[in-house]
Amino acid sequence: MDVATELVSTSNFHATLLPGELSVIQIPPAHVRACCWPLLNLLLYGECSLNCREDDATSGDHICRLQQTELFSMVVDNDGITLFVDPNGINMFKAANLQDKIRTAPQHWRAIQIHLGPMVAEFPGVVSFLSKLLAEDNISILNM
């Protein structure tokens, strides 16, 4: 799915299902320090190093940052760090041999973008309403 899909549209509210899939990665507090290398790579670098070129012979373990993941969101709380990345983000932890230090959602997710227009002052109420609906199905607000 490469095209955004309009889910709900009124004069004051638009909800759009964004294209692409997201992976959810959770790093428990005990493993944050061990996971610093892939975490920093996800946070700081959007393109590959100067010595990486398409025609260069690189090792099989190398993940070219030109084909690397985008980090969409990071939530830090008492449960550790939760990352919302495109599915290639998990490969950064696998390349560092740290896949046993992280937890990943068993399925991919899709993001919903909400535009409130002139209702922006009502944003807390919209979030409250949506979180109550999600809570009824035992879905965390972090999944929003």
For residues 66 and 137, membership in a common domain is answered with no
pTM > 0.85: no
The tens-digit pLDDT sequence of the chain (144 residues) is 466 676 667 767 777 887 788 889 999 999 999 999 988 888 876 555 445 555 555 555 555 554 545 667 888 888 899 998 888 788 889 989 999 999 999 988 887 777 777 766 666 777 777 778 777 877 766 544
Count of residues making up the chain: 144
For residues 14 and 61, membership in a common domain is answered with no
For residues 69 and 90, membership in a common domain is answered with yes
For residues 37 and 103, membership in a common domain is answered with yes
For residues 36 and 103, membership in a common domain is answered with yes
For residues 99 and 125, membership in a common domain is answered with no
For residues 59 and 71, membership in a common domain is answered with yes
Q: How many CB atoms lie within 10 A of CB 21?
A: 13
Q: Tell me 125's DSSP state.
A: H
For residues 15 and 29, membership in a common domain is answered with no
Distance in angstroms (rounded) separating the CA atoms of residues 112 and 57: 40
pLDDT at 133 (0 to 100): 76
Range of the domain at 8: 1-19+114-144
Total tally of structural domains belonging to the chain: 2
For residues 28 and 64, membership in a common domain is answered with yes
**Strand ranges in 18-135 using DSSP code E only, listed in sequence order:** 23-27, 71-77, 80-85, 103-104, 112-115
Q: Tell me 38's DSSP state.
A: H
Give ∠ CA 107-92-17 in degrees, rounded to 5: 40
For residues 35 and 100, membership in a common domain is answered with yes
